[in-house]
Amino acid sequence: MPDKQRRRGLFAGKRARALAMKLLTRHENLHIEEVHEAVGLDNIVRFHTEGKEGLRELGIALRAVRAAMTKEEANRLLRPSLRRLKRYGPFSQPVCLFFFTMEDDGAWYTWVAEPVIEDGQPVLRSGDEADCRTLDKRALNEILGRVDSWYDDLFARLVVNGTGRKAEHT
């Protein structure tokens, strides 16, 4: 890879991290951790919702390109990224892929592990196809709201208060 292309790629990656942090840090209650291990994610976002118990987490993967993109182009371009990310899964928390385009300051997101309720059960839906949506402050609020609601359902099914049965030792 020519040196100029490599520098542009590094610049796009750094800018994507900065833009993601700019968006995420608008929420004072979010704790953002950069991930340095090879787990497929760039950030883990943790938060508590007032009046609710339990820690809520959202994984974030970042991608960036220099050129402007339409939604259809972004979906097509991100297909291999989604497939690579699935190799790190299955994920135990919701995961979003944030995608930034440098030329036009575009920002998109698509779910890698989408929090949904199916047949009354909280599940994480993983797909091979991107479904990019505009990423802005309103979209981030919707993402966090979905994650929060999903954890409400998950905790209601997983966590049992009380002593329960004691384990028998043989």
- Which structural domains are found in the chain, ordered by start? 3-158 (3.40.1350)
DSSP state of 163: -
pLDDT surpassing 50 at residue 170:
no
What does the pLDDT look like over 16-31, one tens digit per residue?
Answer: 898 999 999 998 899 9
pLDDT of 28 = 87
What does the pLDDT look like over 84-105, one tens digit per residue?
Answer: 998 887 899 999 999 999 888 8
Phi/psi-derived region of residue 123, left when phi > 0, alpha when psi is between -120 and 50, beta in every other case? beta
Give the β-pairing of 106-118 and 95-101: antiparallel
CA–CA separation, 87 and 58 (whole Å): 18
Q: What is the pTM of this model?
A: 0.87
Query: Cβ(130)–Cβ(97) under 8 Å?
Result: yes
